[in-house]
Amino acid sequence: EPEVTQTPSHQVTQMGQEVILRCVPISNHLYFYWYRQILGQKVEFLVSFYNNEISEKSEIFDDQFSVERPDGSNFTLKIRSTKLEDSAMYFCASRQGIEKLFFGSGTQLSVL
Amino acid sequence: DQQVKQNSPSLSVQEGRISILNCDYTNSMFDYFLWYKKYPAEGPTFLISISSIKDKNEDGRFTVFLNKSAKHLSLHIVPSQPGDSAVYFCAASPGTYKYIFGTGTRLKVLA
C-alpha cells in the first residue's frame, strides 16, 4: 500500500535554530497537511496545502512556520526560529479527495 | 475551543468483548467523521469513516454510529482483540480542508 514518508524520524535542535521537516506524500494525492502532537496531548492541525498554496492554517501556524512543495514530490515544514514549546511529534498527511487522511510515521522534534 | 471531545481518556476491555469508544462534537457544520488508531511512535492509521448523511457504517469488526441530534459518534469493536490496544482518535471535518481531532482514548484489551 502507498505510504506517506517522513524524514528524519528524530531531530534535535537548539532553541533559535531553523529546522526543516520533510515529507513525501502519496503520489496521486492533492491535499497535504501538517499536524503535531505534543506528548500526551491531542493531534493538532497546523496547516493544509492545496493547489500550491495554503488552504487553511491554525493559530499555531504563525510567522515562524512555513510550508513548501519545492518539486512534484516533497512537502516541507520549516520552523525559522525554534522554541522549546515547538518540541512535539510532527505528522505529515495527504489525501486524494474528500476522504481519509493518510499519515506518515512522524518526526520527533526536540528543541533544547 | 475543543470542538471534538473524547471524554474517556482510557478504557479496559476483556478480549472477545465489545469495546465502545465515544466522541462528542460541538460544531453542527461537521459533515464527515473518521476514527484513527495510533500506536506509540507511529502515525495515526485510518480505521473507518462516516458521512453525516448516514447513521451507521460497518467494516468488519468495526462499526461507527453517528447521532447527529446528540452530536455524538461511537466506535464499536467486536470482538476486541489484544492487538486492538492503542490510542483511538475521532476526527471531524466541516467540509473544509481541515480535520479536527479529539484528545484520544487509550484502549487496553486484556487477554
Q: Which residue has the higher pLDDT, B80 or A39?
A: B80
Q: How far apart are CA A104 and CA B71, in angstroms?
A: 30
- Say yes or no for a CB contact (<8 Å) between B41 and A100: no
Q: Which of A32, A42, A105 to mutate to test the interface with B (most CBs of B within 10 A)?
A: A42
Q: For residue A46, what pLDDT is reported?
A: 96
- B104 near A CB under 8 A: yes
**What pLDDT, on the 0 to 100 scale, is given for residue B97?**
78
Pairing of strands B56-59, B62-67: antiparallel
Contact A44, A60 (CB under 8 A): yes
CB contact (8 A) between residue A42 and residue B103: yes
Say if CB A58 and CB A45 are below 8 A apart: yes
pLDDT in tens, B35-53: 999 998 889 999 999 999 9
pLDDT of residue B1: 57
Q: What is the pLDDT of residues A59-91, one digit of tens each?
A: 999 999 999 998 878 999 999 999 999 999 999
Specify the length of chain A in residues.
Answer: 112
Specify whether the CB–CB gap between A35 and A90 falls below 8 A. yes
Binary contact (B41, A106; C-beta < 8 A) = yes
What are residue A84's phi and psi, to 5 degrees? -55, -40
Model confidence at A39, pLDDT cuts 50, 70, 90, reads confident
The parts of chain B modelled with pLDDT lower than 70 are 1
Taking only the tens place, the pLDDT of each residue in A9-34 is 999 999 999 999 999 999 989 999 99
Nearest CB to B49 within list A31, A100, A105: A100
Residue B20, classified by CB atoms within 10 Å of its CB into exposed (0-12), middle (13-18) or buried (19+), is middle
- Our CA-based measurement puts residue B96 at a distance from the nearest CA of chain A, in whole angstroms, of 8
DSSP B36: E
Beta-carbon neighbour count of residue B60 at 10 Å? Answer: 9
Question: Which of A43, A45, A99 is closest, CB to CB, to B89?
Answer: A43
Shortest Cα distance, chain A CAs vs residue B67, angstroms: 20
Say how far apart CA B110 and CA A25 lie, in whole Å: 36
CB contact under 8 A, B45 and A45: no
Cα B60 to Cα A52, B45, B64, B72, B95: the distances in Å are 38, 16, 11, 22, 27
Cell (9 digits) for B73 = 459518534
Question: At CB < 8 Å, which residues of chain A contact B?
Answer: 4, 31, 33, 35, 41-45, 48, 50, 55-56, 58, 91, 93, 98-106, 108
**What cell numbers appear for A2 in the block?**
502507498
Nearest to B98 among A45, A99, A108 (CB): A45
